[in-house]
Amino acid sequence: MNPKKIMVINTHAPYGKATARESLDAVLAASAYDQDLSLLFLGDAVFQLLQQQDTAALEAKSLSTALPVLPLYDVTAIYAQQSALDARGLTRADLVLDVECLENHQITALMDSQDILLSF
């Protein structure tokens, strides 16, 4: 059976809702089935990628410690929306992962090439 191209799209800030953690769980679960996975961070979701997130006051686990393990699960196609980073004054140096930054037209083309899109 040929692996499906699955893109998990993150659209929410890292904390306040469970969507960021749920998307990470979905990626890790799909990786167990040898699918062609990619992960995309749009809008406020780029905050999920920030280094050294202090979540003590929130009593939540920091995503910045979980995201770097993704390559161990063969999840290496990780993208961030360049315009979202720019609008928030962020650069690749601020991020916990080495991501590929894409312009909006590149994101559209990449999404069109997927078999399945999962939005969180």
Instruction: Kindly report the CATH number assigned to the domain that includes residue 11.
Output: 3.40.1260.10
The pLDDT value recorded for residue 57 is: 53
pLDDT at 2: 85
The residue among 29, 30, 37, 39 whose CA lies nearest residue 6 is 37
7 close to 41: Cβ distance less than 8 angstroms = no
Across residues 69-76, what is the average pLDDT? 92
What does the pLDDT average to over 79-97?
A: 96
Q: What pLDDT, on the 0 to 100 scale, is given for residue 52?
A: 74
Confidence (pLDDT) at 16: 73
Q: Which residues, including other chains, have CB under 8 Å from residue 60's CB and lie 6 or more apart?
A: 15
Q: For residue 53, what are the domain limits?
A: 5-119
Q: Count of domains in the chain?
A: 1
Quote the mean pLDDT of the chain.
Answer: 90
- Residue 58 pLDDT exceeds 60: no
